[in-house]
Amino acid sequence: MTMLPPGSRPLLPLLDRGSAPPAHIGEHAGSCCAPAADRTAPPDAVSPVSRGERSTRGQTRIPEGTFWMGDSHGDGYVADGELPVHQVRLSPYFIDTKAVTNAQFAAFVKATGYATDAERDGVSAVFHLAVEAAAADILRSAAGVPWWLAVRGADWRHPAGPRSSIGDLQNHPVVHVSWRDARAYCRWAGKRLPTEAEWEHAARGGLDRARFPWGDELAGGRWRCNIWQGEFPRHNTLDDGYLTTAPVTAYQPNGYGLLNTVGNVWEWCQDAFRETEYADRADQAPVVDPVATEPSVADDAQVRRVMRGGSYLCHDSYCNRYRVAARSSNTAESSSGNIGFRCANDAA
């Protein structure tokens, strides 16, 4: 195993589809519960989707405001770039109070015929205790991260594999959607992805520099988000009620009415991911409506995009990215059973 500095954990499973490993595997400091795909489908094969009329349905308006962005508690992994804490001013915007559900994504697919990256590639990553698939469809696990399995036929309609369905999961967050899939949904819905700054500001719910959307303490007797309890990755005591996804309405909303920002599923943001993003802009005080500079080939499936909030696999002993300041990323084509998204919009 590669030697990594403390706090950097080689937790990125590689879904090896026969080609060379992407260069970031092993060098990127542990995107914990987020496996990276190395897909075979060409980037230009994303189904074209026409833009829907602007809609703020299901969204709440966040007023203009200034907040301290970043990790004020010294909790973060250095390589995630949660520092320095810096002041950010945001124009008013709208953001979904809940993650996009399976029912909503089904309406999108029905209207457009859209096929996700996972469907076109025929495989996606499923957490080992959740798999519902024939042995022949469980293709492989990854060295160092055996809890992620590449499962043939795992996609948004079959979140645990071919033998699963979303029949009972209509109100759960859609998963196995790539950044590109999330963008297509937003376009159809007359929305857009939130910027990373918008996501963090909204997740803070009006609290100043708190660790979580509700304050600094993880749980006072009752769980307030869906993460992992027990011994990762074998034994989950299910104290919070869920092994994998919880309904998007589970637990209490934050001060802005947002639900499940931390825990449950990772949420894609608009920005390209750069570890040095905060350091590079921190001398502007405050920085106004920040968004990472788009890479020159912005539609490149290999561009790493920001994910926020952590997932049902996060656990203090292994990956504490269930904090509002925590950052992670994955390539724009990647999908797994713990990555979803919510939408935003400009204020009109």
Residues at the contact surface with Cu ion, assessed by CB under 5 A = 32-33, 310, 314, 319, 321
Q: What is the DSSP letter of 130?
A: G
Q: Could you tell which of Ca ion, Cu ion, none binds residue 32, using a CB distance below 5 to 8 A set by kind? A: Cu ion
Q: How large is the C-alpha radius of gyration of the chain?
A: 18
**Minimal CB distance to Ca ion: which residue?**
309
Which of 178/264 has CB closer to Ca ion? 264
Q: Could you tell which of Ca ion, Cu ion, none binds residue 319, using a CB distance below 5 to 8 A set by kind? A: Cu ion
Which of 186/339 has CB closer to Cu ion? 339
CB of 277 to Ca ion, least distance (A): 20
CB of 227 to Ca ion, least distance (A): 6
Q: Could you tell which of Ca ion, Cu ion, none binds residue 329, using a CB distance below 5 to 8 A set by kind? A: none
Helix (H), strand (E), coil (C) string for 17-78: CCCCCCCCCCCCCCCCCCCEECCCCCHHHCCCCCCCCCCCCCEEEECCEEEEECCCCCCCCH
The one-letter amino acid code at 324 reads V
Q: Which residues form the interface with Ca ion (CB under 5 A)?
A: 226, 240, 242, 260, 264, 309, 312
Query: For residues 332 and 307, is the Cβ–Cβ distance under 8 A?
Result: no
Which of 181/240 has CB closer to Ca ion? 240
Q: Could you tell which of Cu ion, Ca ion, none binds residue 205, using a CB distance below 5 to 8 A set by kind? A: none
Q: How far apart are CA 105 and CA 248, in angstroms?
A: 13
Q: Could you tell which of Cu ion, Ca ion, none binds residue 223, using a CB distance below 5 to 8 A set by kind? A: none
| Residue whose pair of structure tokens reads 């405050």 in the numeric block | 286
Which of 81/310 has CB closer to Cu ion? 310
CB of 284 to Ca ion, least distance (A): 29
CB of 75 to Ca ion, least distance (A): 17
Q: Could you tell which of Ca ion, Cu ion, none binds residue 33, using a CB distance below 5 to 8 A set by kind? A: Cu ion
Q: Two tokens at 69?
A: 């962005």
Q: Could you tell which of Cu ion, Ca ion, none binds residue 242, using a CB distance below 5 to 8 A set by kind? A: Ca ion
Beta strands, E only, the chain: 14-15, 36-37, 59-62, 65-69, 86-90, 93-96, 123-127, 138-142, 145-152, 230-231, 235-236, 266-272, 287-288, 304-308, 327-331, 339-340, 344-346
CB of 139 to Ca ion, least distance (A): 26
Which of 232/278 has CB closer to Ca ion? 232
DSSP, collapsed to helix, strand or coil, labels residue 312 as: coil
Which of 162/318 has CB closer to Ca ion? 318
Instruction: Provide the terminal-to-terminal Cα distance of the chain, rounded to the nearest Å.
Output: 51
| 141 beta partners | 149
CB of 174 to Ca ion, least distance (A): 12
